[in-house]
Amino acid sequence: MASDHTRTSILAAAERLYADRGFGDVTLRDIVAEANVNLAAVNYHFGSKDELIAELFVTRSIATNRERLRELKAAEEEGGGRAPIEVILHALVGPTLRGCLGPENQRSTAARFMIRASIESVPPIRRIKNREIDHLRKFAGAMRRALPDRSDVDIYWGLNFALAMAHHTIRESERLTKLSEGKCDLDDVEDVVARVVSVATMALTAPRTEAKAPARALARDAR
């Protein structure tokens, strides 16, 4: 294994293509063409296409989770074991949003690949993805410490909605721009992060009965 040149070329090319075009549209032949290597190299170095995807996903998954946890840990230590809910949510959605939105040149292939992975859910990834639940539980724990009065159910719903807003905004950024005729500026990433964090915080801190009861009654009528 003198130099991993071929191996790393394949990984880089595959990640770039998958991030750009999704798993469904990219073939091994596309990848080896992009990487300037021979077709058989993929099976030689990775065993199969699925194992290539899995390796890509595992690597990036670990890196992403580490970055999010780093932000979270830092915030919690600073606050003596308890970080404000805004900061926790910020650590959760910030890295991904930053990597996927913003001006073309500063987007990260890694983040965009991870979003594809979270959307298209191809078999090799689905098998691995269950581990991510443990990672989210760490955030749920931090949120519980920040909001000891909230029920577990509310915590999980808040977590779910925070990820929902972040991921959906990334996926549908183009449509939102078109719909708003450019008024929503998806290039101002920090504004987007602030909006998501703000709404998620409201969802988690608003008094339950006041805001929810009317909507619930409404739903009953419509049934």
| 190 touches, from DNA, its own copies, none (C-beta below 5 to 8 Å by class) | its own copies
Spatial separation of the C-alpha atoms in residues 181 and 178, rounded to whole Å = 5
| 106 touches, from DNA, its own copies, none (C-beta below 5 to 8 Å by class) | none
Q: Is 38 in the site for DNA (CB under 7 A)?
A: yes
Taking the complex as a whole, the smallest distance from the CB of residue 167 to its own copies amounts, in Å, to 6
| 167 touches, from its own copies, DNA, none (C-beta below 5 to 8 Å by class) | its own copies
| 6 touches, from DNA, its own copies, none (C-beta below 5 to 8 Å by class) | DNA
- The answer to whether residues 22 and 112 touch, using CB atoms and an 8 Å cutoff, is no
Q: How many CB atoms lie within 10 A of CB 74?
A: 13
Is the Cβ of residue 1 or residue 222 nearer to DNA in the bound state?
A: 1
| 199 touches, from DNA, its own copies, none (C-beta below 5 to 8 Å by class) | its own copies
Closest listed residue to residue 196, CA positions, set 170, 221, 223: 170
| 168 touches, from its own copies, DNA, none (C-beta below 5 to 8 Å by class) | its own copies
Taking the complex as a whole, the smallest distance from the CB of residue 41 to DNA amounts, in Å, to 5
Which range touches DNA (CB under 7 A), out of 39-47, 57-65, 152-160, 200-208? 39-47
Helix axes 189-205, 152-171, angle to 10 degrees: 160
Is the Cβ of residue 77 or residue 152 nearer to its own copies in the bound state?
A: 152
DSSP class of residue 28 equals: H
Backbone angles phi, psi at 108, to 5 degrees: -105, 135
Q: Is 27 in the site for DNA (CB under 7 A)?
A: yes
Is the Cβ of residue 41 or residue 199 nearer to its own copies in the bound state?
A: 199
Q: Which residue has the tokens 């990775």?
A: 46
CA atoms within 13 A of residue 99's CA, in its CB half-sphere: 21
Is the Cβ of residue 45 or residue 90 nearer to its own copies in the bound state?
A: 90
Taking the complex as a whole, the smallest distance from the CB of residue 45 to DNA amounts, in Å, to 6
Q: How many CB atoms lie within 10 A of CB 33?
A: 13
Is the Cβ of residue 49 or residue 90 nearer to DNA in the bound state?
A: 49
Where b means 16+ CB within 10 Å and e means fewer, 179-213 reads: eeeeebebeebeebbeebbeebbebbeeeeeeeee
- The answer to whether residues 143 and 86 touch, using CB atoms and an 8 Å cutoff, is no
Is the Cβ of residue 53 or residue 165 nearer to DNA in the bound state?
A: 53
Which residues contact DNA (rule: CB under 7 A)? 1-2, 5-6, 27-30, 37-45, 48-50
